[in-house]
Amino acid sequence: MVGKKSGKALLRDEGLERTDNNMDLSSWPVIPAINQKNYYTDYLKRDDQYLAFRLQNEENRNRMAKKAKDRDRAMAMEKTNDLGIPEPEADMDGDTNMDDAEAAATEAIGSKVVVIHVGSQNLRIGLSSDALPKTLPMVIARKSTTNESEDQEEHRPKRLKLDDGSEMEPEKKFGSEFSSQYTTMMADLKTHMRQNKRRTLPNSKEMVVNYNRRTVPETISEHNDPMRVEWTEIPDHAPEYIVGQPALRIPDESNPRYKLYWPMKYGWCNEQDYDNKRLLFLDISIILEDAIKTQLGLTSKKDWPQYSCVFVIPDLFDKAYVTQILEMLMREFSFARVCFIQESLAATFGAGFTSACVVDIGAQKTSICCVEEGMCVENSRVNLKYGGADVTELFIKMMLYDHFPYEEINLWRRYDFLLAEELKKNVCTMNEASVSVQVFDFHLRVAGQDTRKYTFKAYDEVHLAPMGVFQPSLFDNSMKLNGRRKLIARSVDIYDGQPNDPTSAAQSEILTALAPATSGNQVNGEAQTSIPDVQATPSRSQQVNALSRVQEHEATPRSSVAGSPGPEGTPQAGGALTPAPGGQSQNTSQPRAPTVEERDDILPSFPLDKAILTSIMHAARSDERKMRDFLGGIMVVGGGSLVSNFHLFLEERLQLLQPGFAKEIMIGTPPRDLDPQVVVWKGASVFGKLSGTNDSWISQLEYDRLGHRLLAYKRSNTAEWLLSPPHFALDSVKPAAKTTDETVIRDLEIPPIDLPAQICTPPCSQTQQVAPKTDAEDCETDMSKSKDGGSSGGFHQEYIASLRYRNDLPPPDMPPKFLDIPHDGLERFLTPGFASNLGRREELNIDVDAEGGMPIDLVGIPGLHLGDESAIMAPENPDPIDPADLPLLLTLDQLRNPAPKNANVSFLRRTQYISAGIRAPDGPKVNTPIRPKRLDKKSQDDPTYIKKYIMKGFDIAYPDSKHVGEDTSSQIKGHAPTKLEVDAWAQPVHPDNPKLKPVGYYPLVPDLQGFPDPGGFVQFKFDKAPVQSPGGKRDERMDVALLQPSDPEERIMQEYGTKKALHRSNPNLYPDPGPVPYDYNLFLPEKKDKESVKRIRANLQLSNPDRDDESLYTHEGADNTKFHRYDRQRTYATNSQTLGNAQKQIDIALTLYDPAEAKSGGAPQAQKAAYYYSIISKTRLKPERSRTIAQAGLAPTQPTSKEDQVHQMQVVACDPDEAEAYKRSTYRGLIDPKFAKTMPPPPEPAEEPESQEVDEANTGSQPQVDEDDDADRMSDE
């Protein structure tokens, strides 16, 4: 039987057996690979190997030991009390009660924590226990030879000029590019408004331009300005610097000059205005120190070591800035502990959200970041360099384009900067319903000058200026990159010298879209690399990019490039299997070109809506559920979001870009009506009071030993600090199962996200699939934890291994572990936002007919078509309700409890009155004694009491004339004044502005010599200025103008007669139409020179002794008669009027007269006083209505002239005759009883002349002509 041959025998027979002669193939020493199954070390893998964690554990153990001792002591005290032994006093053994200690600790939470939020424009600081922070400008003023406006040659906004230096037209001052973009935005807005069925006027822009071009300011003296500014006074020994709000109120022309410095600018350190890094951070230190001393009351630095500090830093921060701030807080301020928190995480803490997309619009920068379960998604962080200050400058630029009346505005000046900010807050809006031609006004207050009041019109500028955040090319970005990296260099790794500032995939994508294309083998700042082996264990795709390095996306400390070389065939950091020649690391390659994140010539200025979608896209990572959550949880904070209707407008923009998610998109505001400007600070204060944040605190002992390297271990869960530790370690590669944000996973079956091309550009050009995690990798993940079974906390250390097992089998087409099976069930119906989304998506199914459910036949209603709507309106004085119907008006509560209640007692005031006579909760009934009423006390409505009350005021003002005797019919003694009333008269206080001080006192008396024939004056106001001089000033002829009443048109008289008849028939239903609406003819002197006006004024002035001189007349007739010739300008119709005894003495005109200040030649009055004149009629005039009626088609095209129309008048002035003088005396006698007794009898009536050739004008009966201050100053042709 032949046996079976083995394999070796067969190979030997065939001559294929392998023989070994014990000779090496090469003389090069071969280093065997380490057995990876048994390779293990615990170096830097346990928490107790780090000083930061050791100190933290010791503190926790001490706290637990103290709690155990206190618990044992409390149990012993309870047993002692059970035996009947008295409890010892706290003062004897030195221990306090635990409950009291806990109560004291609870009260002290946050009172020793200072929270600081530094912004580009404002600093918010306060204690963590405060409800709201103290806000002050982040500015310091230093002594200088010039101020900031004098240092700048160009105005801000910058205007173009002609070659000869002259000013250009406003439409050309800002260049053709801005004009083109502005015109396009106006056209788009008008189209959008028409689509939304909003009314637009075709000549709106012309109306705005014409009004702004012709308006002139009104000068207001300083003592008449109740809101005048309190400027900062510079003492004789001027300080070197002034901080905060007083710095902004330093006059520009102060002596000596002061120059403003803003240490923070555009979210960066202001390297443009500073020449020294030390001075930059010195100013930050001075501002913070002054705020702590003045705003928080911590005046002594000896108390500061007892306080901790929470400092808010940006989401994408510069490590050099944070390091310098940490040193400042530890060394200069000597705080006991310091911790940092990012702005987006602080915003979610302040609003109480766990997950949200936070959009923070500040003064000069806008940041976007998605927060998920209290963690900032690193790759979603976006930082844009524009904010509310850019909107302010754009708004001023648009107003200057439309002929802004204050064309000298320069934002480099302090008062102009504050004025522009105020205008933006009061005028700008994102509500299209508010886009119309509106009149606004503002007051320009300059130190040492009178206040000037400007009025201007605006149309769509108020809406287009805030829209600049969606079209940032309109902003002036020419100076934002000046001086960048001039003082503060970029932070680099201490081993390989590569930049290691935090980066973001969303920010990189935006910068790539904005960056110009580079030459060579780079596209958009990223190098093109070869595709890695798809059969290798999945890992990060190799990129020559700052955001692709493994170490920067792990908490593992950076390893040294000088580490031990790996064996041949060991995959390197990029995942390639090519061994490094000579055993050297691949990191020693030639210097690479800077990536897009490392370039300082790219300004991140991107449309806000597209930037938000880019951030959310990188945060969701192709997860549809996360995409919907972030789109439905967008929270806008910051002062730039205070523009009216900004949230709804942003929501509409996002819905247009993402129509597939339109129903889920929701823009939220901070809850509890919290100011969006303080949400970040509020969140930081909450973070400082949490007991679980002790992992982030940096103490003085730790900082003394480790310095800023401690930030690699002592950091909050969101901070990304990757400083190199002072030790060496081998390169670490994360398992594929725990990939970070850069790893591209398998896309799920979700609808595609439609984004513009510049947004959809991926941050890298290579992708790879993630293989399922094997059991070996699960073991490695478990080994990455510490020995005690818990995680290593904020510091994460992976198992160090350079060899992975290969899996040549392809991954399954659809692994079950990657299926996104919805399992939320009813949870989505129970969320707070479900009802809100449902209400916004689903419209109410209400069928409304054309007449709104109330068919009304308007035919037959009297007076309705004549403009009288009183018949269909509720009556002003309804009929009294029948007592039998009163029970029908009772509420359900009144029906249940018909007992009467004391409705005259308010809820929170004078509650002691309702407690009298009511049984107390724990005591017997209290019987309050009732005081008997004084029978001799007179009622306050008694005439004698009222007269005594009035006389009390005169007694206080004139104590010498006080009546001290008994009361008589002619003299009565006033009430005794109190001390408060006497002091109030001695030191009067203005009711609106307590800072105003009186400059003089005038008694208020009537002018007994100034009563005209009707018994009072008539006030006329014009809707539009009747005439205007060529220089844009007021025509002086209006001071001597004459108004001649004339009968109105027949149609107006018919309407008036109808209304009068209706009023007489039913006065309760139809109101009184008032007096006849006369027309008035305006006459002005024929000569327009100032000399003629001066002579007419002298002829009409009663105090002029030479007023009857015939040489004052301006014209002479054929019969040698002297007169003033007046020409009719136009006819005015009555727009509205008020006349009647009910309004008498309510409106008065006031004149202050002081004989000491009277001009020479005038007739001095009897005394110094404030003389008042009653106004018995107020009439508002509008241009002749015939033209308007003709345009409406209700009258002939050409208005017919009246037969008795007067076109010219000859005016002669004369003194009143006896009848006129007696008529005036009757009105004086009603006020002056002494004059009434001595008044002469009425004169006999004189025969009227048959004809009168010359119209006479009486100075006393001349109507008062007053132009409306707010009227349009354009003359109506």
* pLDDT tens per residue across span 139-175: 999 999 999 988 888 888 988 888 887 888 888 888 8
Distance CA 139, CA 124 (A): 13
Question: Is residue 791's pLDDT more than 50?
Answer: no
Question: Is residue 365's pLDDT more than 90?
Answer: yes
User: CA 674 → CA 395, 637, 638, 642, distances in Å?
Assistant: 27, 10, 11, 12
Query: In this structure, is the dihedral angle defined by the CA atoms of residues 1263, 1264, 1265 and 1266, taken in order, positive or negative?
Result: negative
- The Cα angle at residue 117 between residues 111 and 123, in degrees rounded to 5: 105
Instruction: Say what the pLDDT of residue 10 is.
Output: 80
pLDDT band per the 50, 70, 90 thresholds, residue 773? very low
Among 1060, 663, 1006, residue whose Cα is nearest residue 843: 663
| Mean per-residue pLDDT, 229-236 | 89
Residue of higher predicted confidence among 883 and 509: 509
DSSP string, 235-290: -SS--SEEESHHHHTS-TT-SS-EEEE-SEETTEE--SS-S-HHHHHHHHHHHHHH
Q: What is the DSSP letter of 899?
A: S
Q: What is the DSSP letter of 1180?
A: E
Question: Is residue 425's pLDDT more than 80?
Answer: yes
Distance CA 1041, CA 1127 (A): 10
Question: Is residue 429's pLDDT more than 80?
Answer: yes
| Mean per-residue pLDDT, 958-964 | 82
| Interval 881-936: pLDDT, tens | 787 887 787 777 777 776 554 444 444 433 343 434 444 444 444 444 455 444 44
Q: What are the tokens at 806? A: 């290969």
Contacts of residue 122, defined as CB under 8 A and 6 or more positions apart, other chains included, come to: 135, 136, 137, 138, 363, 639, 677
Alpha helices in 888-942 (DSSP H): 892-896, 912-915
Question: Is residue 805's pLDDT more than 50?
Answer: no
Strand intervals (E) in 505-614 = 522-523, 526-527
Instruction: Say what the pLDDT of residue 419 is.
Output: 93
Helices (H) and strands (E) in the chain, counts: 32, 33
Distance CA 489, CA 320 (A): 8
| Strongest mean pLDDT among 290-299, 575-584, 1172-1181, 1242-1251 | 290-299
CATH superfamily entry for domain 151-231+388-474: ATPase, substrate binding domain, subdomain 4 (3.90.640.10)
Instruction: Say what the pLDDT of residue 536 is.
Output: 33
pLDDT band per the 50, 70, 90 thresholds, residue 101? very low
- The Cα angle at residue 204 between residues 203 and 208, in degrees rounded to 5: 120
Among 716, 714, 687, 690, residue whose Cα is nearest residue 701: 714
Amino acid, single-letter form, for residue 458: A
Instruction: Say what the pLDDT of residue 107 is.
Output: 54
Q: What are the tokens at 212? A: 């702004």
Q: State what percent of residues in the chain have pLDDT above 90.
A: 25
Instruction: Say what the pLDDT of residue 1136 is.
Output: 83
Q: What is the DSSP letter of 491?
A: P
pTM of the model: 0.54
Question: Is residue 210's pLDDT more than 60?
Answer: yes
Which residue has 């149309």 as its token pair? 459
Distance CA 200, CA 460 (A): 11
pLDDT band per the 50, 70, 90 thresholds, residue 28? confident
Distance CA 179, CA 189 (A): 15
Instruction: Say what the pLDDT of residue 1016 is.
Output: 80
Instruction: Say what the pLDDT of residue 399 is.
Output: 93
Q: What is the largest CA-CA distance in the chain?
A: 175
| Strongest mean pLDDT among 48-57, 548-557, 803-812, 1260-1269 | 48-57
The domain locations on the chain are 151-231+388-474, 933-995, 1004-1245+1252-1272
Q: How far is CA 67 from the centre of its chain?
A: 48
Q: Mean pLDDT for the chain?
A: 74
Q: What are the tokens at 450? A: 């009178």
Distance CA 220, CA 446 (A): 12
**Least confident piece of the model among 515-524, 528-537, 602-611, 859-868:** 528-537
